[in-house]
Structure 1
Amino acid sequence: MSDLVVVFDFDRTMIEGDSDDWVVTQMGLTQLFNQLRRTLPWNSLMDRMMEELHSLDKTVEDIANCMRLTPFDSHMIEAIKSAHSLGCDLKIISDANQFFIETILEHHGLLGCFSEIYTNPTSVDENGRLRILPYHNSALAHHGCNLCPSNLCKGVVVNDIRTSALGHGKKRFIYLGDGRGDICPTLKLVDGDYVMPRKNYPLWDRICSKPTHIKAEVHEWSNAEELEKVLLHLINTISINENCGGKNSSHPNSSKCQSKTRPFCSIS
């Protein structure tokens, strides 16, 4: 499956909750966070939270210890390890940040499964304070996308990955996500790609309301256990079709090469 790129969102997709919310809640920042939430862009707000932790004498290691306690479902761990072992090129695009994501993945032995992580970069300044910076620099902050925040347009990243992937012979994408920030990259997917939206979350709602805007084949999921089953079935079905030399087909009931079908959103 060396020609298959699997792209994960992180918050509420790879992990059940939100890594930013986790550190804010666990480290006692909720009141200040709520006070400043309407005054700062999210990325800048989280950098401000790190400043507050530093003023409270919380170290980078204290923050890391907090992140290591983030709940991470065992089915998700197995899905990632299995997809990696099957030869898929795994990547992350997330509006969280480098430190949170890498700390959590390393704690669960998953960091080495991912070839690239596209997220807001972090650094530790000369005073030992963790800084959270925007993914797009000032030159790209006005990327012209009205679906994404100024600090990160996931659609731009998907296009960049596709350009690089095609240069290395990779042709198909599976994109897994849940939120509004995953709408733009989903719209960048093409015929032959696949999108796995989390059911009853904003991305799924958008796909169900405007299905004709989506060129990729849609496969919904509700929890980590279901994600594992759907993802691995999809990977295996794609592999079977490649071995058969036939066209794409990844319908959940598919067991051999057949013509392409598009699963629909079953709104309940």
Structure 2
Amino acid sequence: MAAGNGIVVVFDFDKTIIDVDSDNWVVDSLGLTEEFERLLPTMPWNTLMDTMMGELHARGRTLGDFAAALLAAPIDPRVPAAIRAAAALGCDLRVLSDANAFFIETVLEHHGLRGCFTEVNTNPSRVDAGGRLRIEPYHDFLRGAPHGCGVGTCPPNMCKGQVLDRILREAAAGGRKPRVIYLGDGRGDYCPALRLAREDFVMPRRGYPVWDLICEDPARVQAEVHPWADGAEMEATLLALVRRALVEDAAAAALLPLDCKLESSIPAAAQDGGMPIMPLGVKN
């Protein structure tokens, strides 16, 4: 991995790195859809997933069965390519997801991506003495105080905005304020999008809940908004934004011209302006 370049790239996991919701995928793959849908109105999602893991364990399903289901989850091949390219350029990559550690780590390891990420922020998981997978909330709202976020789109077990604040405090500990590129799809990704600064970028998946929320009141988001629809568009947009941030930061530090090796390390689609770079207010 290249030396740090001052850019933090934060990825959601479900429907961002992989093309499905990992919770639904495992439940459906292992034949528990009907039970899941029956219980869904009765408890928070995070609690429900822990309950489902208990039911699957009672039916004889093992960690190996969960892993096998996860390894079959669809992932656009351009997404791993984008992750590897951003890491190679020196970006600090983080996962921020409302899935769980076992699901995410299993998928990232399988695709050879775990080493690209500095950390995975998600709901903790563990295997108990009986061999059952337990899924716990990131914010322990069942035994402690709620996270207290007032945005209204965060689930009780995780405020991604608060987690992002902690990531940025740590990244700025060396005295250099990082630039952020945030990628996500769901309602829970709206809160962190609102916490980004003008020099940051948010990449909502077009047609998904976070995109709809941003479109309802674009003025609430300070960061530039760059939507994407599939892996190819994600890759081109992400690498174009990384290149742009590097150019702007180098210019600000009076370090231009950039090493031509940087230009050659970025895919042509990102170099030649193949993806439009525009704020949300400009229609495309």
TM (normalized to structure 1)? 0.91
What is the percentage of aligned positions where both structures have the same residue?
48
Count of residues paired in the alignment: 260
Does residue 149 (structure 1) correspond to residue 155 (structure 2)? The answer is yes
Aligned to 2:131: 128
Q: Distance in 2 between matches of 1:152 and 1:232?
A: 29
Q: Distance in 2 between matches of 1:210 and 1:204?
A: 11
Task: Identify which of 16, 20, 23 aligns with 2:23.
Answer: 20
Aligned to 1:51: 54
C-alpha contact 2:76 2:230 (8 A) present in aligned 1: no
Alpha-carbon distance change, 206 to 200 in structure 1, aligned in 2, over 3 angstroms: same
1:41-77 per-residue CA deviation (whole Å, 9 max, x = no partner) reads 0000000110011001111122112111111111001
- SS class of match (1:37): helix
Aligned to 2:198: 191
Q: More displaced, 133-142 or 4-13?
A: 133-142
Structure 2 residue runs without a partner (length 5+)? 255-268
Aligned to 2:262: none
Does residue 218 (structure 1) correspond to residue 225 (structure 2)? The answer is yes
Q: Which runs of 4+ in 1 moved over 4 A?
A: 252-256
C-alpha contact 1:179 1:203 (8 A) present in aligned 2: yes
Q: Distance in 2 between matches of 1:18 and 1:104?
A: 12
Q: Distance in 2 between matches of 1:218 and 1:37?
A: 33
Aligned to 1:160: 166
1:101-122 per-residue CA deviation (whole Å, 9 max, x = no partner) reads 0000000000111101110000
Does residue 112 (structure 1) correspond to residue 115 (structure 2)? The answer is yes
C-alpha contact 2:19 2:73 (8 A) present in aligned 1: no
Alpha-carbon distance change, 147 to 135 in structure 1, aligned in 2, over 3 angstroms: same
Q: Distance in 2 between matches of 1:157 and 1:217?
A: 21
TM (normalized to structure 2)? 0.86
Task: Identify which of 166, 171, 185 aligns with 2:178.
Answer: 171
Q: Distance in 2 between matches of 1:118 and 1:265?
A: 33
Alpha-carbon distance change, 255 to 224 in structure 1, aligned in 2, over 3 angstroms: closer
